[in-house]
Amino acid sequence: MEVRVAEFIVSNTDYKLCPQDGRPEYAFIGRSNVGKSSLINMLTNNGKLAMTSSTPGKTLLINHFLVNKEWYIVDLPGYGYAKRSQKDITKIQQIISNYIMGREQMTNLFVLIDIRHEPQKIDMEFLEWLGENGVPFSIIFTKADKLGLNRGKENVKVYLDRLKEQWEELPPYFVSSSTNRMGREEILAYIDKINKSLK
């Protein structure tokens, strides 16, 4: 898939105020500092589309970006909560769960996981919650350039083995790097395939 144009459309905290044009939405979520904004910018060939912050976890909004006038990338708040009050944490959780559970246009949720780390409890619990609620999702392992090829494969295998303890069928997954653009074609091809299946 060629990304010809990608533009910011709107930010909201309420999923009911998100665009109502019925176009498919691909939402991106992960812990703070997982590289979400950088990945979105890499996928869209636009280094300034999603705001990358020196203070991870600042996004408190649902951000919609229209790609090729056909489908949306949706940038969701992170669930890692760097230095947040309990009130803020509860508010963010509500924004995330309301969108995921209430947004019919959400075609797929991409869950971003930092490939450098062991399986994190918060990630595993989030994936389990998605499974329990029948949410269609895929995993994107980010920051693959920070590890050697073999170490990256080992870390992915550890995650998949952990998932197999709870899941009969593993979700689709991708290995990516915003720095060297690894995984870009595969992720866009996956989105393109889903888009075509919806027509």
Is residue 6 within 8 Å of 49, Cβ to Cβ? Answer: yes
DSSP structure class, residue 70: T
Structure tokens at 163: 């998932």
| pLDDT tens track, the chain, 199 positions | 999 999 999 999 999 999 999 999 999 999 988 999 999 999 999 988 987 655 555 567 899 999 999 999 999 998 865 566 778 788 888 999 999 999 999 999 999 999 999 899 999 999 999 999 999 999 999 999 998 878 989 999 999 999 999 888 999 999 999 999 999 999 999 999 999 999 8
Task: Please give the model's pTM, rounded to 2 decimal places.
Answer: 0.94
Structure tokens at 170: 């593993």
Q: How many CB atoms lie within 10 A of CB 143?
A: 24
